[in-house]
Amino acid sequence: MSIAGTRIMPTRGFLLNFKRRVKSIEEGYKLLEMKRDELSNRLREYLEQLRAAKKAFIENAAKVMDKFKEVYALTGPDALDALSASIEKLRIRILPISIMGIHVPEVKLENLPDIKNKYPPIVRSVAEIIYEMLDDLIKITELEMKIEIISYDLERTNRIVNALEKIVLPSMKSTIKLIEDMLDEDELEEFIRLKIVREKILGRGRS
């Protein structure tokens, strides 16, 4: 007899080891359940934050994009290309933070280029608006990345928890019961055999 690749032996020693194994799996199951709950809560929290941040951002972004397109068309691609090239680049650092053992990114702004005193008329008005939206844009990107990573891991954890809860642990527990029953039967058989032998020995002695 075997279960999950392990050969089952109806012995006390095997039963004890098997019970120990089931206990550690149950502890692991509890930890994974906690992980699942925590990931669920975080996911819900990040989704709320994303919903709020995106709503305002998308409305503004649509208006800014329309304005930017007009500025781009009016200034011409070469001139606008030259203007954007001459500004210092935005620098960010992505730090991993751990949520229940999963590494999610946290964005730290290292250098936000200063646009004051840099742009000529027309371009500066749209540059200023885009500059003010940069923080929100970075925040939204960070949240989306976190949500994607957590969702993937949550799906995986959920699958493992469900498998443990519905398949592995019940199967292992029924195996324990089976072994216990078999051992009880063996004990009873042994007891009755001993009783018969005893009676035979005692009978012989009387005669």
Partner 1 sequence: MSIYIVARSHGLSTRLLPREVIEALSNAQTLNDMVSLLSPTDYGAKLEKGEEVKPYTLYRAITEVFRDRINFLASVPEKKNIRDFVVTYLRRYEVEDIVKALRHLKAGELPEEILGKIINFKFAKVNFDEMTQSRSVDKAIELLKNYGYMISDAAIELYKKYDSLLPIEAALMKNYYRRIFDTLKNLSRKDRKQIEMILRIEADIENMFIAVSSFLYNYAPELVEYLLIPYTEKISLDSFKRVVYLKTAREILETFKPYETIAENILRREELIAKVEANKYIYKLLEQVKVAYMMSMPYLVYFIKRCEFEWRDLTYLSYAIHYCTEKECIRRGLISI
Question: Would you tell me which residues interact with partner 1 (CB under 8 A)?
Answer: 66-67, 69-74, 76-79, 81-83, 85-86, 88, 114, 116-118, 120-122, 124-125, 128
Closest residue by Cα to residue 57 from 143, 146, 137: 137
- The alpha-carbon radius of gyration of the chain (Å, integer) is 34
124 versus 139: smaller Cβ distance to partner 1? 124
Other CB atoms within a 10 A radius of the CB of residue 189 amount to: 10
Angle at 35 between CA 31 and CA 41, to 5 degrees: 145
- The residues, any chain, with a CB within 8 Å of residue 160's CB and separated by 6 or more, are 32
28 versus 113: smaller Cβ distance to partner 1? 113
Q: How far is the CB of 59 from partner 1 (least distance, A)?
A: 18
69 versus 108: smaller Cβ distance to partner 1? 69
Mapped onto helix, strand or coil, the DSSP state of residue 87 is: coil
Q: How far is the CB of 92 from partner 1 (least distance, A)?
A: 19
29 versus 131: smaller Cβ distance to partner 1? 131
Q: How far is the CB of 24 from partner 1 (least distance, A)?
A: 59
